[in-house]
Amino acid sequence: MKIGVVTFPGSLDDHDAHRAVRVAGGEPVSLWHGDDSLRDVDAVVLPGGFSYGDYLRAGAIARFAPVMSALIPAAQGGLPVLGICNGFQILCESHLLPGAMIQNDHRTFICRDQRLRVENATTAWTSDFAQDDEITIVLKNQDGQYVADRHTLDELEGEGRVAFRYVIEHSVVDGPDAPAAVRYDRFASRNPNGSYRDIAGVTNERGNVVGLMPHPEHAIEEGYGPSLDGLKFFTSVLKSVVNA
């Protein structure tokens, strides 16, 4: 089972994505941004990083890379594609997923272990989860604020296409009785980047294309990352490819 991982100039997490594919039991295949071939892979991961320096807009230049001219029609035809962080931004810029990503509303880079709720466990990349599972993986971004117009957001929610939402840990922060974990966590009572409706990840109509801001590939091995929850993204897609 071959899972391609695209390397753009400025990709950072392609090696971790390779490793995640291998640990899950798949065969990682390197794909290069300048090639217009997908090398007969069964699925593709667009990894995190800062492709083309995030110049113009995050993902805006990567969207026009030669590899994308092969990937976009393949994804429209049902090829499973997972966009992580910068990969999610590229999928939005490519219009494979709706919405866009802008700078975090608090204007700072963020890096933390983040709890998410799985809101759609039927996509190619989430079928090993159960509906409403809560998982903890790494979140690290500068431009992680998911935005879309109200109509698009309503449509996404109505069609069950919000794949992941940030879990808001506490509804009340203020007050002397607030626990230390709340008082010292500036993101205890709000989502960590200002994303509309707490959306952390979305999917397309078919469920083969999934994009999310946090990083499952950093949570696949004991001793590294906050959990092993990320592995299920990769085991999910391997099963979906077998069943396809």
Partner 1 sequence: MGIVVVDVMLKSEILDPQGQAVAGALPRLGFNQFTDVRQGKRFVLTVEGEVTDQVLAAAREAAETMLSNPVIEDVVSVRAVLNEVGSQATELNKTAEHA
- Window of 90-98, 116-124, 126-134, 212-220 that interacts with partner 1 by CB under 8 A: 90-98
What's the Cα-to-Cα distance from 7 to each of 29, 49, 115, 122, rounded to whole Å? 11, 10, 28, 28
- State the nearest-atom distance from the C-beta of 196 to partner 1, in Å: 10
- State the nearest-atom distance from the C-beta of 99 to partner 1, in Å: 6
- State the nearest-atom distance from the C-beta of 167 to partner 1, in Å: 22
- Window of 93-101, 110-118, 170-178, 227-235 that interacts with partner 1 by CB under 8 A: 93-101
71/68 Cα distance (integer angstroms): 5
92/115 Cα distance (integer angstroms): 23
Q: How far apart are the first and last CA of the chain?
A: 12
Could you tell me if 129 and 137 are in contact, meaning their C-beta atoms sit under 8 angstroms apart? no
Structure tokens at 230: 């990320």
Query: According to the binding rule CB under 8 A, does residue 194 interact with partner 1?
Result: yes
Query: According to the binding rule CB under 8 A, does residue 148 interact with partner 1?
Result: yes
- State the nearest-atom distance from the C-beta of 72 to partner 1, in Å: 14
Sequence-distant (≥ 6) Cβ neighbours of residue 126 within 8 angstroms = 118, 120, 163, 210, 232, 233, 236
Q: Is 85 a catalytic residue?
A: yes
Structure tokens at 159: 């069609």
Considering only 13, 54, 93, 229, the residue that binds partner 1 (CB under 8 A) is: 93
Considering only 74, 110, 147, 168, the residue that binds partner 1 (CB under 8 A) is: 147
Active site residues: 85, 215, 217
Residues that bind partner 1 (CB under 8 A): 56-57, 60, 64, 92-93, 98-100, 102-107, 145, 147-149, 194
